[in-house]
Structure 1
Amino acid sequence: MNIILDPSIFNHIRITTGKRKQMQGENLTSWNFFFLEGFSKYPKLEIVLFIFSLLMYLITLLGNSTLILITVVDARLQTPMYLFLGNLSFMDICYTSASIPTLLVNLLSSQKTIIFSGCAAQMYLSLAMGSTECVLLAVMAYDRYVAICRPLRYPIIMNRQVCVQMATISWVTGSLTALLETSFALQIPRCGNLIDHFTCEILAVLKLACTRSLLMDTIMLVISVLLLPVPVLLICISYVFILSTILRISSAEGRNKAFSTCGAHLTVVILYYGAALSMYLKPSSSGSQEIDKIISLLYGVLTPMLNPIIYSLRNKEVKDAVKKVLGKMYLQQIQEHL
């Protein structure tokens, strides 16, 4: 049975559990832990959300792990496109694992708390994986551009060393920007420890700040622009050239194959950036926090779950590789029983 705590209890706990310290002549509070509001306003909805989130999380783990496995064991998938796809799947696993287990525990618990270090780790991992994915999706668009618009030079331009460097740049960019955002966000003095979210999402944590920080706002704006509109613009430019090239292909089979390989990536881009742009580039005062939570849930669970499904359904090579791996596992089980 879920217990809804009265807000006055939270206020009392805030006062009695915070450690007071003098900082720049003001009394500010350093919190050892945070309360996560989550969906506690809707106790009857929590069990439904628990089942939904658990199923989505398990499917995400299974689907993305399978994609990583087949890109490693199948020699036909040792290409740049699948190298990037394997990185994308690994990121999706890390991204969901940073927040969903905590959500699942809190949905069944009356004490929805998280310690400061856990909150910091959760915020950093979510930002790092999300930022890395923004860059990687732009890199994948460039890979598709070279493959379709420069097919004869594709093996030279997208050689393995270049691909590894591109993937590394994506990871380093995401990790460093996340470190910058997290370190500054957690240093801002907070006048409360009740986060109106189901995870330590940076925008929700910043709402606890006693005063607005111009430096933090500037950092968030610059990084959001660099990681959202700029990659989207690069992806759009890539697809303008891709579409122009595809329309000049004479054979229907060639056009269909090109549309198939690009369609999966473009679908993932629309899902991912659509949710991300709606969260991070809207005015802070607009909309309801409850709507933000729903968007975050879809952004954090549904999109990573759909990525491997989209690539599997629209890609014959992936489907063939999955069948091959499953067939080997089935034969191995038969041999063990004999």
Structure 2
Amino acid sequence: MSVPAEKLKWMYETMFKIRYYEETMVKVYMEGKHPVFNIGAGPVPGEMHLAAGQEPAAVGICAHLHEMDTVTAPHRPHHHAIAKGVDLDRMTAEIFGKETGLGKGKGGHMHLFDPKVKFSCGGIVAAGIPHAVGAALAAKMKRKDWVAVAFIGEGAANAGAFHESLNLAALWKLPVIVVIEDNSYGISVPKAASTAIQSNDKRGAAYGVPGFYVKDNDPIEMCRVSGEAVERARRGEGPTIIEIETYRFLGHFQGDPELYRDPNEVPSLRQNDPIQRLKELLLKENLVSSAEIAQMENRARQDVDRAYEFAKKSAYPKPEAALEDVFVDA
């Protein structure tokens, strides 16, 4: 499958937006956390897991999704959310803990929910896969051509939820795709020290489903493979596993000293930046002009800057709001 020019341009603009969003968050998050790192200080307290470098995994498959398709994401969710079309203003407000946020400021960055585009995420490893399987089952029972995509890290492929979910999805031929982002580390543990198999796409054979491995953080190959998986799911032919070799340019969390990484690792990875590679391809193939690239990048910056400004100006929830939207024992 070849990737249409319009889709490639959407992918570039969305990847640029994700990167700019994450780089902006690096600065905002660290406000008030110097000179000694204090996780509770600043305008965005708590943990922060950013996805700079992992953009191809999200845009490659979301380029094929519709509003009614479901996406579940893990604790590092911003690239998935932006690629799926989550409301950027309300998402950012949620991260800031403001009442205008997706969850009225009560969920934070690991608990983003936007029912309008059927997106959710959570901080429990592998917990989104059963949810995606449930959404895929609902689509099949309703006789809809909707698909569900579960994004996980490579460490989550060792969890029981991964295997239980794939077994049911394969047995019932559900329209679900599991995208495994192999960024080489489960927090600080290298993949080779935690996973018995070299690449998790091979685990598809145990359940009789196709598995694909995308090398070198390649957005175009990710788009091509994802397109086949989505079409297969819409035809009722069941699940697919896709693992993508991707790069985490930042720490597992902001403030991570990254003592487990060779100091030369990230600079080397940045020399192979997927956003720059896609930009060069678009220009080389005369699919866009330099002026069009500048327009795309300006639009992305404006969207992100507006979202951060919206979040900063929004009000915090009133104290009594802590008693709302909670379960009570009747």
Give the TM bin, normalised by the shorter chain: under 0.3
Query: Larger strand proportion, structure 1 or 2?
Result: 2
TM-score (norm 1): 0.25
Instruction: State which structure, 1 or 2, has the greater radius of gyration over its C-alpha atoms.
Output: 1
